[in-house]
Amino acid sequence: MTLERLCSICGTRLEITIDAAGAYVGGQYFGKISFPVPDTGAYVKVGEFRLGRRTYDVVDWTGTKREFEYWECDACYERRETEDVVGPTDRSPE
């Protein structure tokens, strides 16, 4: 079976081949991502959680959510694997 998807980073068209065992080649799959559609609802507090001495609200979106599959082409995936991904506080001063 073959699927056509777009790389979520660069927009390259991907041809994903899936075999009978469910293994795939032609891209890197990271799962489905959903995000709220503006002006269709509101965030409502559904709970709280503590982290250290601070308390944070847990919220849920009441409106419509849009969902998509997150794929990356092999080139974008390899580039991200080789880039320095440590945070700014981990870098040596310039």
CB 40 within 8 A of CB 81: no
**Amino acid symbol at 37:** V
pTM of the model: 0.64
pLDDT surpasses 90 at 26: yes
Q: Look at the alpha carbons of 69, 77, 2, 22 in this order and tell me if their dihedral is positive or negative.
A: negative
Whole-angstrom Cα distance, residue 32 to residue 19?
20
Q: Where does the pLDDT of residue 85 fall: very low under 50, low under 70, confident under 90, or very high at 90 and above?
A: low
Residue 71: per-residue pLDDT: 95
Residue 79: per-residue pLDDT: 86
Residues 6 or more apart whose Cβ sits within 8 Å of residue 3: 15, 16, 18
Query: Residue 76 is encoded by which pair of tokens?
Result: 């974008």
pLDDT digits (tens, 9 = 90+) for 28-69: 999 999 999 999 999 999 999 999 999 999 999 999 999 999
